[in-house]
Homo-oligomer: A and B are copies of this chain.
């Protein structure tokens, strides 16, 4: 778990109290007070440190992280949260570089985070290399944070949600959450953003094939990237195909009609149109109340998810349950027991 290393990383710099291992309630509170203050003042180093605290697996750090978050919460929520997904090779980094840089020219403050369930294995496959976003990473109105690692998507998701709060408290008004189409990561990102953007490439007539189930349903915008040079025409055809495909879906609760557009991130074409669409979305949903409603529903979802995951984890960690479950699954595969009897048996084991 690298807890020593983590501890040192957080302990360095700003906050000498950490290094000294001070544990008194008052000091602790002062530490997070100071860190929160620095974050709220927009200090990027403090923000990085705060996020590292949130990501730490050290129990003491986790407690401090909760204190820090409580202090930042009141300054949070003043942003638009944008989820961006797309398969590897679609040009997510180039797009975010171009899109984020454009936003800073409008006076926006842009934070980029990532949800990457694969990163715990590959040690950061997306955003791991900040140099992929050269210009944006040097921009003082931008903050780029590589993907949090974690043992589970739930863990990564939690850390990302907490990082969003810290970024918002630090004055970032546009939060971009990048994810790659692995497992359930889009669903997780969808459940923490206001606007969900799907990046696609024009292909040889098969634009609509193989799109992961449910992805189109979640999209508030589909953007065909790399619409430049010889690719411009296929991109336009893909746009038409997607626009048609979207008609097959029922209207969204937000009443928003998803937009399909083309762009060339590398040539900075079609970028301002995307931002205009997001602004229209925000205006529409703030007007009709959906914006606030969705955020509240997301919070409720995360509350209940956290509770239920914890209940399940504790149950399946029970030694009696752990021992008996494989045997019951074996019996189930031979139709020797009904799923309901097996469940009753497992539940009764727990009580013993």
Report which A residues bind B (CB closer than 8 A): 66, 69-70, 73-74, 76-77, 158, 161-162, 165, 208-214, 217, 245, 247-250, 296, 299-304, 306-308, 310-312, 315, 328-329, 332-333, 335-344, 346-347
A333 vs B213: C-alpha distance in the bound complex, in angstroms?
A: 31
A340 vs B165: C-alpha distance in the bound complex, in angstroms?
A: 12
Once the chains bind, are B248 and A211 in contact (CB under 8 Å)?
A: yes
Given contact pairs A69-B340, A300-B329, A311-B311, a sample of 7 additional A-B residue pairs in the complex whose CB atoms are under 8 Å apart: A74-B336, A162-B338, A209-B248, A299-B332, A307-B315, A307-B347, A308-B311
Q: Given contacts A296-B333, A333-B296, A343-B303, is CB(A210)–CB(B250) below 8 Å?
A: yes
A301 vs B211: C-alpha distance in the bound complex, in angstroms?
A: 25
Q: Given contacts A328-B303, A341-B69, A342-B303, is CB(A335)–CB(B212) below 8 Å?
A: no
- For the complex formed by this chain, how many copies does it contain in all? 2
Closest 4 CB pairs of A and B: A306-B343, A302-B339, A303-B339, A208-B248
Q: Separation in Å of the A75 CB from the closest CB of chain B?
A: 10
Q: Which residues of B contact A249 (CB under 8 A)?
A: 213
Once the chains bind, are A338 and B250 in contact (CB under 8 Å)?
A: no
Q: Which residues of B contact A76 (CB under 8 A)?
A: 335
Q: Which residues of B contact A340 (CB under 8 A)?
A: 66, 69, 158, 161-162, 302-303, 306
A69 vs B335: C-alpha distance in the bound complex, in angstroms?
A: 11
Q: Given contacts A299-B332, A303-B332, A332-B296, is CB(A209)–CB(B343) below 8 Å?
A: no
Once the chains bind, are A338 and B165 in contact (CB under 8 Å)?
A: yes
Once the chains bind, are A337 and B217 in contact (CB under 8 Å)?
A: no
Determine the residue in chain B with the shortest Cβ distance to A65: B340
Once the chains bind, are B337 and A70 in contact (CB under 8 Å)?
A: yes
Once the chains bind, are B315 and A312 in contact (CB under 8 Å)?
A: no
Q: Given contacts A248-B208, A250-B211, A332-B296, is CB(A70)–CB(B341) below 8 Å?
A: yes
Q: Which residues of B contact A158 (CB under 8 A)?
A: 340
Once the chains bind, are A332 and B300 in contact (CB under 8 Å)?
A: yes
A247 vs B70: C-alpha distance in the bound complex, in angstroms?
A: 49
Determine the residue in chain B with the shortest Cβ distance to A245: B248
